[in-house]
Every structure is written in C-alpha cells, then in structure tokens.
Amino acid sequence: MDGNRIRRGTVLGAAAAACLLTAGTIGTPAEAAPAAGPKTVAVAASCGNPVLKVWYDSDQFGTYLKAWFETARGCPKGRKVASLSGKIYCFKPKSKLVYSASVAGKKAPTSTLIKALPPKNKCKTFYAESVIVYKGASRTPFKDTWRWNWGGYPA
C-alpha cells in the first residue's frame, strides 16, 4: 500500500511540474511576451555603425525597458573610439528626449550607460539616433537611427 502511494505521489508531482513548465509557453504569442535579455539590433562584421541594445527586465513590480549604445560586435578589441553618443526620444504620445549619453576616449568594446526608459503607459513609440567616431586617419562619423514600439525591438 505504501509503495502505491509513493508512485501515485511521484506521478502527480511530475504532472504538476510539467504543467508549470509549459503554462508560460502555451497560448502566448511571441509579440505579447517580450524575450528576456538583450537583443542586438545592428550587426556589423567590423567597426562601423553603432549598435543599439534594448532589454526588457521584469520583477514583482512590473516590466522595465532598458537601453544602451555600444560598438559593433566585430570591432577589434582595443580599437580607439574618439566618441560614442546616443539619444532616444519618446515619439508618442509626444516628442520628448528620454535618454542621452556619450563616452569619449575609450577603446572597443565600449558602451554608454544602461538606463531605464519610460513605461508603456507614458511612452508607446521610441526613436533613437547614435553616432560613433573612431580615432584614425579618416575620423568619419558612423550614424544610425532606429524606431520601435514598446514591447518590440528597434529596427
């Protein structure tokens, strides 16, 4: 009799665990549930345009959107960066600067500070622009812009 109770308890416990593991994935559209962790927006094979990264973080109080700018992944370590700057604007409901950061005189890989952006109820659409200048002969600025809705990723 005791052996049957243990087996039934094990089966019920395994079934409950399986339900808990799949409950968060069944019936949740990918767009409705933003992926956790950073997502690369621009990919470069070498130094070039700046990269905007966004990360949706959540805790018991809600979900937060964090953003920062950095050098391209393929940029060789140690490449001198004269300046990297980025700005993010809340585009809807009204235009307003919500993020501005820059770094100068650094070496790749480098990035600006990670900052939280306004919550969805205060800003639904964002516009970002960034400029990076590498030290060297040409000192040509590389620029990029992005636009996205809260809950999505920049494009």
- Specify whether 7 is located in the same domain as 64: no
Cα angle at 148 between 146 and 152, to 5 degrees?
130
- Report the predicted TM-score, pTM, of the whole model to 2 decimal places: 0.68
Specify the pLDDT at position 136.
82
Residue 29: band (very low, low, confident or very high) from pLDDT cuts 50, 70, 90: very low
Domain that holds residue 6: 1-32
CB < 8 Å & 24+ apart, contacts of 56-62: 56/151, 62/119
More reliable by pLDDT, 131 or 2:
131
Residue 112: band (very low, low, confident or very high) from pLDDT cuts 50, 70, 90: very high
- Specify whether 61 is located in the same domain as 97: yes
Burial class (CB in 10 A: 0-12, 13-18, 19+), 81: buried
139 vs 82: CA distance, rounded Å: 8
Averaged pLDDT score across all residues of the chain: 78
- Specify whether 24 is located in the same domain as 48: no
64 vs 86: CA distance, rounded Å: 19
Residue 41: band (very low, low, confident or very high) from pLDDT cuts 50, 70, 90: very low
| pLDDT > 70 fraction of the chain, expressed in percent and rounded | 70
Burial class (CB in 10 A: 0-12, 13-18, 19+), 66: middle
> Which CATH number is 63's domain given?
2.60.40
Does some domain include residue 127?
yes
